[in-house]
Structure 1
Amino acid sequence: MKNNRSIQRCLSIMRAFRGNGRPTLAELARAVELPHATVLRFLQTLEEEGYAAREDSRWRLTPQVFELGFAAMDSLGVTDAVQQILQRLADAYSGTSNLGEANPEGVIIIGRAMAPAERRRLVVMNLRVGSVLPPSSALAGGLRLPQGQWSRYDYPDSNQVSVAVPVPQAGPRVLSVGISVSVSEVVGDLLETEMVPALQQAAETISGVIRVGVV
């Protein structure tokens, strides 16, 4: 139990950096509601292992933390092959493609790719891998749909539309793949005749990659 509690505390400290990239010891202690001495002990351990660094009175996580993220992506099946599929989708329709997995709060983004134009545009929602979308989102709506069906959600404030389809035969996992594009990209029946079939093909391919474990 003591070891479990230590792991929980260490993880909570690392998560606290999400809201403040270069916090002081006092700010971290306040965020995780732990004594300063306890937080300092964990920070020093992270520093020794290369995951944290001290800059005057402030702390930051180091790029070595990415190693954990890459390991997690591999565990989730988000290999280079899956990332390439998402990137092709994003490039084909000048948008942002997402791979999502069912989450108690809706759907969590486990893979994401953006077209060059989207990277240059100010993305107000500031979503990234690890972000959770609500049940009302297209990506969440596509999770448990029968094959051949798709979900759609419009974002009038940002002039965007999102569509998503289920990823079939992913074992016990419930996945969906979707794309968000500017409304101006959806001309005529392009969404129904091209984008949705492209998503369904991508979903089939992703399913095969995840099942076989292609790297």
Structure 2
Amino acid sequence: MRAFRANGRPTLAELSRAVDLPHATVLRFLQTLEEEGYAARQDSRWRLTPLVFELGFAAMESLGVSEAIQDVLQGLADAYSGTSNLGESHSDGVIIIGRAMAPAERRRLVVMNLRVGSVLPPASALAQGLDLPVGQWTRFDYPDSNQISIATPIPQIDSRRLSVGISVDASEATDGRLENDMAPALQHAADTIKGILRIGTV
């Protein structure tokens, strides 16, 4: 299913090359997805159907990313005219499991092409935030896009390693504002998210 990201309407041969599996194997997978309603074919091309969204929503629910957590992320994004992310540890760094953008960010033509499911590298603030002591925060600058990101850990729940971060235009992030306003708001958000997740696991 990931192979559809690079080519939204591939042929069987294109999919087979993309996943490096024999045509017959890929065809069996596609026929199963078609029977379940997740894929459809038109002529010689295949596409995913809107039913795939159900899998995404089920995954979000199983990760505990509820509407209440989205509200926390949206509040952060709106307060600082930026983008907020909830991340969970991943073998390659951190994977975004929740994301919200302020209206001004939605209007930008380029927003670093990130979304829920994107993996950020170990150098990113969101990844560095995973291993910090509770109450501390980290910063990472993106000079090419004039963005600054800060992140803080979410106090551990079960064995999960989570962090929450916000990315803003550098003009929004003077040193005094980072230290005295944004970082405390981010830590408050981390505590709130921890409480929501804890309630969800009871």
Instruction: State the TM-score, normalized to the length of structure 1.
Output: 0.90
Question: Which residue matches 2:2?
Answer: 15
For the 8 Å contact 2:122–2:128, the answer to whether it is kept is yes
1:100-179 to 2 correspondences below 5 Å: 100-179=87-166
Q: What do you get for the CA RMSD once the two structures are aligned?
A: 1.3
Deviation at 1:187, TM superposition (A): 3.5
For the 8 Å contact 2:39–2:49, the answer to whether it is kept is yes
4+ runs of 1 displaced by more than 3 Å? Answer: none
Question: Which residue matches 2:62?
Answer: 75
Supply the AA of the counterpart residue of 1:146: P
Quote the Cα distance in structure 2 between the aligned partners of 1:63 and 1:24. 19
Whether 1:29 aligns to 2:13 is: no
For the 8 Å contact 2:156–2:162, the answer to whether it is kept is no
Whether 1:44 aligns to 2:28 is: no
Deviation at 1:33, TM superposition (A): 1.8
Q: Deviations over 1:18-75 (max 9, x none)?
A: 2211111110011112222221222122112110111222111111111111111111
Supply the AA of the counterpart residue of 1:190: R
Q: 2:168 aligns with which of 163, 181, 191?
A: 181
Instruction: State the TM-score, normalized to the length of structure 2.
Output: 0.95
For the 8 Å contact 2:74–2:100, the answer to whether it is kept is yes
Q: Deviations over 1:172-210 (max 9, x none)?
A: 111000000001112451111111010000000000111
Q: Which runs of 5+ in 2 are unaligned?
A: none
Q: Which runs of 5+ in 1 are unaligned?
A: 1-13
Question: Once the two structures are aligned, what percentage of the paired residues are identical?
Answer: 77
Quote the Cα distance in structure 2 between the aligned partners of 1:137 and 1:166. 13
Q: Which moved more, 1:59-68 or 1:48-57?
A: 48-57
